[in-house]
């Protein structure tokens, strides 16, 4: 994902319902072709035209069109009309089509919008778990967390995404720290102090406000409380003001002890601009926070270093692991489709066929199906660092939180609090108090 944090729009957030499910570690079996062949055996005997819509760049479009050609060659009586373009306006158009009953047979859906679609009409999409399609290549816990609502698998994840940390191996060895092994938030503080005592110009972790809010503060609060920042179904905060103060005190200690660089420096490299940070390029950070899809870009910015996938911090005796794998897109079959068997057969080919996997590569992130993921790795269709960050991400079975907690408005409130604490303009306690009130005001405006 190109930082899959775009957040739900304010209007969509008004309609948001509970989007919190547990996810698990990777223990999936490889996808088999036998089940896929069986699923497709009943189709291909009649003339059928399917419509398939998605968004993407040129490389993704080219690969997807090639897979369509492969499927049409295998089943000459089935034709697929491709409807593709940019992501601009895609979700609004799809919402209109779903409401009018004119949506394509197969649609690519943005997971951040999915709760709105589902809670607007629970019957927009069919339950894939009841279809003739091989889902054995997915990790069962991961599948339940992505595209599963009320026990129905209404969407199939195309790939794996999530928070990641990459470590500069040589610099970590120099300072005697290691983020590739299990560690706690307190351990991070200890490592930062160790680095500070050795060289005050170096830091443990490169992270700007965006990443601190999304991938440090919110996961910490989830681990601390076992609840999302906001409980969507009840439209109330899942954390207390004291919880927020604990989180902001932790972040302050990170700034004070060389875990994090000064915000006065990082403010110039907000969002996905950390690769442009001259201190990152010069190797002043032991590790950097990113997402799985940007790990390669961040590592490439410091070509003199060797980077490896690191683990994510855990709270001792935490109530949640805080992190888990998400997905960049979901593939769905619409319930109004008059050609459900054929649409399902195409998705079975799309996800489970070896030739399709080679063609698609990592155009929709590292594949979520284990066999396809292995094909991508074996054929060097993605770099090892990205593959390894995905595998690390899959090892966490925390709670996936979408909805109000991940909106751009809430992220901005958290970022402002972190900034105030980092500059010393506010104590963690005062920042927590104002943040709590702002979050309550935000919720009060969600009707």
Residue 376 located in a structural domain: no
Residue 73 located in a structural domain: yes
Residue 200 located in a structural domain: yes
186 with 314, same domain: the answer is: yes
Counting residues of the chain whose pLDDT is more than 70, the rounded percentage is 91
Whether residue 57 is predicted with pLDDT greater than 70 in this model: the reply is: yes
169 with 294, same domain: the answer is: yes
The per-residue pLDDT for 408 is 87
pLDDT band at 352 (very low <50, low <70, confident <90, very high): very high
pLDDT tens for 387-431 read: 999 999 999 999 999 889 988 899 999 999 999 999 999 999 999
Can you give the CATH number for the domain in which 408 is found? 3.40.190.10
Residue 173 located in a structural domain: yes
227 with 125, same domain: the answer is: no
Cα 15 to Cα 17: distance, rounded to the nearest angstrom: 7
267 with 312, same domain: the answer is: yes
176 with 220, same domain: the answer is: yes
352 with 427, same domain: the answer is: no
311 with 414, same domain: the answer is: yes
Task: Note down the domain range covering 101.
Answer: 48-157+330-363
225 with 289, same domain: the answer is: yes
- Mark 213-232 as b/e (b = at least 16 C-beta within 10 Å): bbbbbbbbbbbbbebbbbbb
Residue 30 located in a structural domain: no
321 with 335, same domain: the answer is: no
Q: For 52, which DSSP code?
A: E
Whether residue 31 is predicted with pLDDT greater than 70 in this model: the reply is: no
Sign of dihedral through CA atoms 365, 369, 372, 378?
positive
For the chain, the domain total comes to 2
Give residue for tokens 């935000």.
Answer: 442
The per-residue pLDDT for 33 is 38
Residue 247 near residue 241, CB atoms below 8 Å: no
Residue 37 located in a structural domain: no
Q: What is the pTM of this model?
A: 0.84
Residue 169 located in a structural domain: yes
End of a domain among 363, 386, 416?
A: 363
What is the bridge-based pairing of β-strands 48-55 and 106-109?
Answer: parallel
DSSP strand E in 105-202: where?
A: 106-109, 148-149, 152-153, 156-157, 159-160, 163-168
313 with 341, same domain: the answer is: no
173 with 104, same domain: the answer is: no
pLDDT tens for 253-293 read: 999 999 999 999 999 999 889 999 999 999 999 999 999 99
pLDDT tens for 211-239 read: 999 999 999 999 999 999 999 889 999 99
The per-residue pLDDT for 32 is 37
Query: Between the CA atoms of 313, 319, 325 and 330, what dihedral angle is there, to the nearest 10 degrees?
Result: -150
Cα 38 to Cα 41: distance, rounded to the nearest angstrom: 5
294 with 320, same domain: the answer is: yes
Residue 427 located in a structural domain: yes
Residue 306 near residue 131, CB atoms below 8 Å: no
């Amino acid at each position: 994902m190109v930082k899959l944090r775009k957040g739900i729009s304010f209007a969509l957030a008004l309609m948001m319902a509970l989007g919190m499910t547990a996810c698990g570690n990777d223990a999936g079996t490889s996808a088999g072709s036998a089940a896929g062949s069986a699923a497709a055996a009943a189709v291909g005997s009649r003339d059928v035209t399917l419509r398939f819509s998605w968004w993407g760049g040129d490389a993704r479009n080219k690969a997807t069109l090639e897979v369509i050609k492969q499927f049409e060659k295998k089943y000459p009586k089935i034709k697929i009309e491709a409807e593709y373009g940019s992501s601009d306006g895609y979700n609004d158009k799809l919402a209109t089509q779903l409401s009018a009953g004119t949506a394509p047979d197969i649609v690519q859906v943005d997971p951040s919008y999915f709760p709105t679609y589902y809670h607007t009409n629970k019957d927009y999409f069919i339950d894939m778990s009841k279809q003739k399609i091989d889902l054995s290549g997915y990790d069962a816990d991961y599948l339940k967390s992505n595209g599963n609502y009320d026990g129905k698998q209404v969407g199939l994840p195309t790939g794996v995404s999530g928070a990641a940390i990459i470590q500069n191996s040589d610099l970590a060895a120099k300072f005697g720290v290691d983020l590739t092994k299990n560690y706690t938030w307190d351990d991070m503080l200890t490592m930062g102090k160790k680095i500070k005592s050795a060289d005050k110009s170096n830091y443990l972790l490169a992270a700007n406000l965006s990443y601190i809010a999304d991938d440090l503060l919110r996961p910490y609060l989830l681990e601390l409380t076992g609840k999302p920042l906001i409980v969507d179904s009840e439209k109330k905060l899942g954390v207390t003001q004291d919880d927020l103060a604990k989180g902001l005190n932790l972040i302050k200690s990170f700034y004070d002890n060389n875990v994090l660089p000064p915000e006065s420096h990082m403010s110039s490299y907000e969002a996905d601009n950390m690769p442009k940070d001259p201190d990152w390029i010069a190797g002043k950070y032991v590790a950097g926070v990113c997402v799985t899809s940007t790990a390669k870009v961040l590592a490439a910015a410091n070509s003199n270093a060797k980077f490896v996938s690191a683990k994510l911090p855990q709270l001792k005796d935490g109530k949640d692991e805080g992190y888990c794998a998400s997905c960049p897109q979901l593939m769905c079959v619409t319930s109004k489709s008059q050609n459900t068997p054929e649409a399902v057969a195409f998705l079975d080919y799309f996800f489970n066929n070896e030739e399709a996997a080679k063609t698609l590569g990592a155009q929709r992130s590292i594949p979520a199906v284990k066999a396809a993921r292995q094909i991508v790795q074996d054929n060097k269709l993605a770099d090892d660092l990205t593959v390894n960050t995905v595998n690390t991400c899959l090892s966490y079975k925390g709670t996936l939180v979408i909805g109000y907690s991940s909106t751009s408005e809430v992220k901005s409130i958290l970022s402002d609090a972190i900034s105030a604490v980092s500059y010393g303009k506010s104590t963690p306690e005062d920042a927590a108090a104002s943040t709590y009130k702002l979050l309550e005001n935000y919720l009060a405006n969600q009707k």
